[in-house]
Amino acid sequence: MKATTATSPDSRVSPMLVRLADERATGALLRDHGTLYLSEGRVVHAESPTAPGIDTLLTTGGRLPRDGWQRAVDEAGARREVGRFLVDSGRIGGGELEICHLGALYDAAFFALAPGSGPTRFRYGVAHWIGPVRPVSAAAVERETRRRRELLDQVWPYPAVDTAPVTPRPPAPGQSLTRRQRALLELADGVRTPAAIAWALGRPAFHTLLEVRRLAAAGLVDTPPEPPPDARPARPVLPAWIGEITADPDIALLRRLRDALEASL
């Protein structure tokens, strides 16, 4: 398994990400399953419709009241400093924010960089409203994404469990569940997928996938049969957030327009 992953063309997670990091680009890297935000070539944030965002992680467990989060976005969102505002206003510790933010960043990046997720575009100059928290190198994001893929397959090489509704199976005599597994399985109602459970728990989606694969390996969750390769949906439908991103004005274009208008006056 190790040998094939090291030599396959897939071992480069995203050649475009590497190139953008080399040219120290700033902007948003848009893919079908998520967005990576770069600042001078370093990854400052990532979002994916699969992965719960930092707002969900912080508010679901009760760390931040929902309105406290909303106030931070209202007050500091426009100047793209929500992260710093949360710390400066005493709503959250600096370390806690960094831990939570890094967790959300690597989690969303894992899904955003999923293989075969369609065309990749880059919008120069776009910044995220969370602002700088703890930028990481693109190489670190690539390496971690690759490691996570291998980790899932080492635990239980059946990717069908990642997207199917989680169906618990009764524990064998002598088998026990951990507290975190119990919390996860209590939400497994035969409808929720691992990602839906992650949102409900306020826990990173990859962590939930990994836990579900561990549970499946232990026989505590059903492993659905793998679909034959040609039966998989060829292209996923475009997620709704693409509309939101493209509605965002292109700052560089607006500046050029303003300069041109001013010059003609």
Partner 1 sequence: MPGIDACLHEIMALPGARGAAIVDWTSGLALGTAGESPNGDHETTATETAELARAAAEYPAFARDAERARPPAEPTAGEAKGPPVEDLIVTTRTGYHVLRFVETTFDSSVFLHLWLDRDTGNLALARLRLQQLAERLVLA
Residues making contact with partner 1 (CB under 8 A): 57-58, 60-63, 87, 90-96, 98-100, 102-103, 106, 134, 143-144, 147-148, 151, 176, 178-180, 201-204, 206-207, 210-211
Question: Measured from the CB of residue 176, what is the shortest distance to partner 1 in angstroms?
Answer: 5
User: Strand, helix or coil at 136?
Assistant: strand
Question: Measured from the CB of residue 177, what is the shortest distance to partner 1 in angstroms?
Answer: 9
Nearer to partner 1, 130 or 201 (CB): 201
Nearer to partner 1, 37 or 110 (CB): 110
Nearer to partner 1, 5 or 178 (CB): 178
Question: Measured from the CB of residue 211, what is the shortest distance to partner 1 in angstroms?
Answer: 7
Q: What are the Cα distances from residue 220, in Å, to 46, 201, 208?
A: 32, 19, 14
Nearer to partner 1, 98 or 222 (CB): 98
| CB neighbour class for 177 (10 Å; exposed up to 12, middle 13-18, buried from 19) | middle
Phi-psi region of 186 (alpha: psi -120 to 50; beta: other; left: phi over 0): alpha
Question: Measured from the CB of residue 261, what is the shortest distance to partner 1 in angstroms?
Answer: 43
Contact 213/155 with Cβ under 8 angstroms? yes
* Helices 179-186 and 205-217, axial angle in degrees (round to 10): 100
Question: Measured from the CB of residue 109, what is the shortest distance to partner 1 in angstroms?
Answer: 11
Nearer to partner 1, 32 or 47 (CB): 47
* Half-sphere exposure (Cβ direction) of 94: Cα atoms closer than 13 Å: 5
